[in-house]
Structure 1
Amino acid sequence: MHFTVAIPTYNGASRLPKLLEQLRTQVNTEDLVWEIIIVDNNSKDNTAEIVRQYQANWPEPYPLRYCLEREQGAAFARLRAIREANGELIGFLDDDNLPDTNWVAAAYLFGKEHPNAGAYGGQIHGDFEVEPPENFKRIQSFLAIREGGKKPHLYDPDHLNLPPAAAVVVRKQAWCENVPSRPTLGGKANGSMIQGDDYEPLLYMHKAGWEIWYHPTMQTYHQIPHWRLEKDYLISLIRGSSLCICHLRMINAKTWQKPIIIARIMLGSLRRAILHLLKYRWKVKTDLIAACEMEFHLSSFASPFYFIKTSLVSQFVRYTGKNQTGFV
């Protein structure tokens, strides 16, 4: 099989119909053998029922499949999709990210023309329910918006410049040969907003020599409701996106490099936080964008402490067989 569209979802009953209808309008796929897999990450709503209804009346030549992944977290849903997928290329789509009608064809063609590409993403535009605040473009990347121009180019994984999982294509071979079966970062789950789970597998692929590309012909539209522009949500999102920085930088680091990386993260983040405070002063409390940027600097500074803490906990669990609460 040529291509798999994988849709990890949690409580996506209200969002999936729009995405499935958009996938049914894909063009230039007549010569492709492809499939759609919905990975239900232990939803509490009627996601499974919605998918069953679609399956019962699915006239398309490409199959619509469903599987349930009970281990909570987007990273585990993506791992399940990799195991279930029959395609040599797997295109992940978040359930609130709508693709252009040529997305599948463009994604497959690029992978075929770039055999060294282990992963690649395209343009992700924001489709806002309400007008975003002034200067929102300064922080729009935290909402998986990517508008990197009209020319394909390589990403820069060494500086954590990578495509988000909201609309990324991975080569199954590159993933299966290089990505561990258990992620370090599981994704947002059980109240945690810690992220980085979408970057972690790409860094392992990069370490093995696979290229990570930006391909602008692949365009999607991220549906962003009004509440995702509220301060509390954005601050929490940015905190989770920043606390994982040290974890991510350690993935491809040698042992002797790790103390240097920690020092650079802390000193660099502290310097940027001080300069930011000097520039905006009290606006860091009243201006939404300035406040979000300050949160990024402070949480980046704290990321080595989070890395050390979780590493110690992991070692404790490994040697004692107990979790943080003391239970096996």
Structure 2
Amino acid sequence: MQPIISVIICTYNPRADYFKQVLNELACQSLPLAAWELLVIDNASKLAVESAWSLDWHPQGRIIREETAGLTAARLRGHQEAQGEILVFVDDDNLLNHEYLADVQRIFQQHPQLGAIGGRSKPRFETAPEPWMAEFYKVLALRDFGPEAQISERYATGETIEYPDFAPAGIGLGIRRDVFGAYVEHMQHDAARLALGRTGKKLTSGEDNDIVLTVMSQGWQIGYFPSLEVIHLISADRLERDYLARLNEAATRSWVQVLGMHNLQVWSPIAPWTVLPRKIKAFFTYGAWRNAAAYVRWRGACGLYEALAST
């Protein structure tokens, strides 16, 4: 029996206690194992995932080594290996609720116009966050758009797309395999788009936005469904000021770059020589020395300037 869904976990040096929880929750899915396959893409981990983990509990479970570093490369390999009609991308710190895969199957069956879907992602913090950090939960891919499902408009080819706030992120992203295939065809020969996505400790992002915009530009709709709930395990080091600052800077820079790739740029380019003076001025405008939140905001502005100087 060919699986309906391919669950793809892209991982690099997974944290053992988190990864164990991820697999345990997947083993509890209500959708029968025969209806879905599990592909773990080991993205050049220092300790091969296959040497430390077994998927013997899943009859259609495989661990696949991908030596090309980077999240985008791992996702492309997952798509290449997948047999299901629907792909569900899961990070190695994501716990899917037990009805997740069954709900993904049902939603796509009920809404044939949908190309990609996502839902809520709620945090489970290793250490309690400070109150100021809530402002930056979005860059940690924490999201909750309420109890009602939301579906985007459908755009004709060439129409200007308005990016929905509720667009799915990579956490628990459900996408039709042929729709993801169209994204692959559009980006695999584009060096700038291939460079999106994290590589090792680099916090480059933007690949999720690129996927969403590509899906919508092909005439598909995207949707938010609150029943699709993910618990995102947040380690203590991700709640440090400097990490959030780096993440905010990288996310802002990548967002501007992706908009430019899709001809949706809303800012004017700037001369490279102006970047440093703009950063200095912004340091005082934001009062970056005053507190951690102001510093993280300032780093986001730095990412904006860096992106605008490279367009």
Aligned counterpart in structure 1 of residue 298 of structure 2, from 286, 294, 297: 294
The residue that corresponds to 1:172 in the other structure is 177
SS in 1 for 2:106: helix
Greater relative contact order (Cα < 8 A, sep 6+): 2
Alignment deviations for residues 1-41 of structure 1 (CA, whole Å, 9 cap, x no partner):
311111000011513222111111112x1496111110010
Q: Is 1:24–2:34 an aligned residue pair?
A: no
Q: Give ranges in structure 2 of 5+ residues lacking alignment.
A: 154-160, 272-276
TM-superposed CA distance for 1:293, in Å, is 2.1
Q: What secondary structure is seen at the aligned counterpart in 1 of 2:130?
A: coil
**What residue is the counterpart of 2:103 in the other structure?**
106
> Does the 8 Å contact 1:238/1:295 carry over to 2?
yes
- Displacement of 1:192 in angstroms is 2.8
Question: What is the distance in 2 between the residues matched to 1:160 and 1:305?
Answer: 26
Aligned counterpart, 1:305: 309
Q: 1:134: Cα distance to partner?
A: 1.0
1:79 pairs with 2:76: yes
Contact 2:238 2:244 in 1 (8 A): yes
How far the C-alpha of 1:264 sits from its partner, in A, is 8.0
- SS of the equivalent of 1:150 reads coil
Note closer, same or farther for the CA distance 1:155–1:127 as it changes in structure 2 (3 Å cut): farther
Q: Distance in 2 between matches of 1:213 and 1:276?
A: 38
Which of the numbers 11, 14, 26 marks the counterpart of 1:12? 14
**Distance change (3 Å), C-alpha of 1:22 and 1:235:** same
Backbone CA RMSD of aligned residues: 2.7
**CA spacing shift, 1:26–1:134, aligned 2, 3 Å:** same
> Helix, strand or coil: the match of 1:292?
helix
After superposition, the C-alpha distances for 1:250-303 in whole angstroms (9 at most, x for unaligned) are 2322xxx76xx441899xxx99x989966xx63x32322232222223312321
Is the contact between residue 97 and residue 229 of structure 2 (CA under 8 Å) also seen in structure 1? Answer: yes
Q: Who is 2:120 aligned against?
A: 123
* TM-score normalized with structure 2 length: 0.84
User: 3-state SS of the aligned residue for 2:207?
Assistant: coil
Q: TM-score when scaled to structure 1?
A: 0.80
CA 1:80–1:131 in structure 2 vs 1: closer, same or farther (change >3 Å)? same
Deviation, structure 1 residue 137: 2.4
**Secondary structure of the corresponding residue to residue 285 of structure 1:** coil
Q: CA shift at 1:49, angstroms?
A: 1.4
Distance 1:90 1:115 in 2: 15
The one of 161, 182, 196 aligned to 1:186: 196
CA shift digits 1:140-170 (9 cap, x unpaired): 0100101111111135863474322122111
Structure 1 equivalent of residue 274 of structure 2 = none
- Pair 265,122 (structure 1): closer, same or farther in 2 beyond 3 Å: farther
Instruction: Spell out structure 1 runs of 4+ moving beyond 4 A.
Output: 273-278
What SS is found at the alignment partner of 2:226?
Answer: strand
Deviations 1:83-120 (A, max 9, x none): 11111111111000111111111111111111111111
CA contact (8 A) 2:270 2:309 kept: no
Q: Aligned partners of 1:191 and 1:212: how far apart in 2?
A: 30
The correspondence of residues 1-328 of structure 1 with structure 2, limited to 5 A, is 1-12=3-14, 14=16, 15-27=18-30, 29-30=31-32, 33-51=35-53, 53-55=54-56, 58=57, 60=58, 62-154=59-151, 158-159=162-163, 161=165, 162-179=167-184, 180=186, 181-182=188-189, 183-253=193-263, 261-263=266-268, 282=287, 284-306=288-310, 308=311
The question of whether the paired residues in 2 share the 8 Å contact of 1:3 and 1:32 is answered with no
Structure 1's 264 and 76: CA in aligned 2 closer, same or farther, altered over 3 A? same
Query: Match of 1:109, as an amino acid?
Result: R
Classify 1:294/1:154 alpha carbon distance in 2 versus 1 (closer, same or farther; 3 Å). Answer: farther
Identity %: 24
Cα offset, 1:46, TM superposition: 4.0
Count of aligned residue pairs for this structure pair: 289
- Are residues 190 and 46 of structure 1, via their aligned partners in 2, closer, same or farther at CA, if it must alter by over 3 Å? closer
Residue 156 of structure 2: aligned partner: none
Structure-1 separation of matches of 2:249 and 2:174: 26
Q: Which amino acid aligns with 2:46?
A: K
After superposition, give the CA deviation of every residue in 1:207-227 in whole Å (9 maximum; x if it has no partner): 111111111101011101111
